[in-house]
Chains A and B, each alone.
Chain A
Amino acid sequence: MSEIKNIINGCLKGHRRDQELLYRRYAAKLYTVCLQYSGNDEEARDVLQEGFIKIFENLVHYKHEGSFEGWIRRIIVNTALEKYRSRHNLYRVDDIDDIPEPDADPDNEDYSGLEAGDLLGIIRELPPKYRMVFNLFAIEGYSHKEISKMINISEGTSKSNLSRARVILQRRVGSYTGLRKKILNG
């Protein structure tokens, strides 16, 4: 029996140690996902907490088919989506023209030197609707059709949001790399 299978069985029996072991094993990886989908740390924390409660509640339904990490990641993403759906009326989708033009060269494709922490920070700066679509399409691999159902928008809106998200991200990445070059060149 694999180690994770043992831990899952322990969790199903209500063993506290195995529950904590499962949490500690995946918390950091899943918290990154929560941060990707959330605009602030408080929201990311809530998603992680609610997501893990769902994981423990639904562990009995896990069939040991496919990747366990993939299964728990989907639960966290769905929790983030629920949070988003419950709050989306509060969010204002900034018009692309409202976003200040970064000091960058959009054609610059030299992304070297960008660290994961920088990338995470850039995604989190996206307006919520763009952030959701970009994460679901580019990171999770869902189609526009699936995304349209997930966050209750049309496929066209999903495509449009993705396109705008990409433009913003390119500009932001460009500004980061441009700034870095400026610093390096003095």
Chain B
Amino acid sequence: MATIPVPAPEAAPAETSGTKIAPVVVAFAIGTAVSIGLGVYGRLHTPTGYAVNISGFSSGPAAKAALASVVMLLAIVQTVTAMAIYGRIRLRGAWLNPVHRWSGRLAILISVPVAVHCLYALGFQAYDGRVIAHSIFGCFLYGAFVFKMLILTRDDSPGWALPLAGGLVLSGLTALWMTAVLYFFFV
């Protein structure tokens, strides 16, 4: 017997219109585990203070700041295309989805050397507020990313899941950028 999709309000948002909450919870749990895992690694691993330098920059931090800024720009592209896909801004075209996908892939790949340098050379540190925030957001970002990728694998997630995941990634990245690059250049 087919149940008529009743627009039940907040009480049970998960069960409306055939969406499933369980995979979202699982994806969130996996993302959380990734974040915690990164944090634990960053804390336990003795930072080497050294990592492979990326040539062409005046210093390791400058290279990281430049790469992180490219990632931040791509994240803005991500936000704009995502808003267009969701119809929040007037922008249409077949290019939106590929641009969103590939700018995201590019962004996360570019972020990897930066994150590895942070984790491997510096570790999870807590010697002042900025550094502890940066350490936490760094671990948070990749957990949020894993969460978002897992949400994307299914069509039956609730409608709010993907924007939530994307928003978490964007917030994490913005916080990371502000606690590092902004500080590096302007403070």
Do A and B share a complex?
A: no
